[in-house]
Amino acid sequence: MSDLSEYKSFFNEIIEAINSAKYKTYKSINKFHIEHNFEIGKIIVENQKKHNWGKSIVDTLSKDINKVVDGVKGYSSQNLWRMRQFYLEYRNKPHFIKLAQKIPWGQNLLIMHMIKDDKEKEYYFSTTDKMGWSRAVLLNQIKGNAYKHHVTDLKHSNFDEALPVHLAEQANDALKSKYNLDFLGITKPILERELENRLVEQIRDLMLELGYGFSFIGNQYKLKLGQKEYFIDLLFYHRFLRCLVAIELKTVEFEPEFAGKMNFYLELLDKNEKHIDDNPSIGIILCPMKDNIEVEFALKINPKPIGVSNYKLTDELPKSLEGKVPSSEELKQMLTKAISNAGIKDHSEDDASN
């Protein structure tokens, strides 16, 4: 027992050293990355002004960079424009540059695009750094008006207790998309799953409360194809529409692959779960942000009836659900649109007459 206790202490010391190295490496790389993007933005702005170049120069620059720097995705036209905007936003605010260097590029972009007030920006910079918020967590904090609650509630933080876990996720969030440093080896999405589980629970409870013909079937509902298993966040049956309704909850802004995945789920539902008298299954994707043009194109290439909506604050919701779910009216609008696209008849009047 003595040897086992000594080994555990030895093992914990090694793990602590590994985690410390991960975090120090992340902070060093991240600082360089933000400085690098700021400098590129500065060079673009100065040369556009010097040579009177228009917008097309950025597209040309992106294509030429990617011919030389093979396999690097960070120099797309869109990202170069973001670097340019980043420079213009903070060139006269050195204090913000120091804050920006402490958090990943993705989180910087969210703050830059969504927050206008300087004090509010400073809050999200500092709290993202201290709490180690991933991009998805930061987005949901902004959507939930965390700054407003911070100012009005003045709650104490648990930074010291929570920091190690959050830092591991923040390092993972930054490194997995930009760098390939195998020794860092962070693979577990620590807070993302926790956040998603909580949101799924709230959505399920809300739908149960709302009624509107929804009958809850299950969450993390299992589908099988051959030897593989797949899981739908929430599955309902709508007795007026007489169809299955699959709901997928995302903690990040809409991406086209979400529609493809939902289309796949609906195909499995229609093949394996749908009753012969049921209408085709409907999918709803809830995410905190979406680009309408991107959504439109994504849905064009996926034939199944799918609705996409961003969840946001609404005064009518209970306090416990603020910032986590759409209103009942928004849900009804999403279903109406999906039903229309699928050519499904609403049988609520038929049921009422019976």
- Chain segment 97-108, per-residue pLDDT in tens: 999 999 999 999
May I ask the CATH architecture of the domain 193-349? 3-Layer(aba) Sandwich (3.40)
Does pLDDT of 196 surpass 70?
no
Taking each helix axis from N to C terminus, what angle separates 77-90 and 2-51, rounded to the nearest 10 degrees? 90
Residue whose tokens read 């007459």 = 353
Residue whose tokens read 């991933």 = 134
231: which 2 tokens?
Answer: 């899981």
Query: In which band, very low, low, confident or very high, does the pLDDT at 159 lie, cut at 50, 70 and 90?
Result: very low
Angle, vertex CA 93, rays to CA 91 and CA 94, nearest 5: 90
The segment(s) of the chain belonging to CATH 3.40.1350.10 are 193-349
Contact indicator for 192, 42 with CB cutoff of 8 Å: no
Task: Calculate the CA 157 to chain-centre distance.
Answer: 24
Contact indicator for 141, 124 with CB cutoff of 8 Å: yes
Taking each helix axis from N to C terminus, what angle separates 56-68 and 77-90, rounded to the nearest 10 degrees? 120
Q: Which amino acid is at 104?
A: P
- Chain segment 306-336, per-residue pLDDT in tens: 877 765 433 343 444 344 444 555 555 555 5
- The residue ranges of DSSP E strands in 87-199, in sequence order, are none
Q: What percent of the chain has pLDDT over 90?
A: 26
175: which 2 tokens?
Answer: 């490194």
- Whole-angstrom Cα distance, residue 209 to residue 212? 9
Contact indicator for 157, 129 with CB cutoff of 8 Å: no
- Chain segment 28-65, per-residue pLDDT in tens: 888 999 999 999 999 999 999 999 999 899 999 999 99
User: pLDDT at position 185, please?
Assistant: 38
7: which 2 tokens?
Answer: 């080994």
- Whole-angstrom Cα distance, residue 320 to residue 344? 34
**Segment among 37-46, 151-160, 274-283, 313-322 with least mean pLDDT:** 313-322
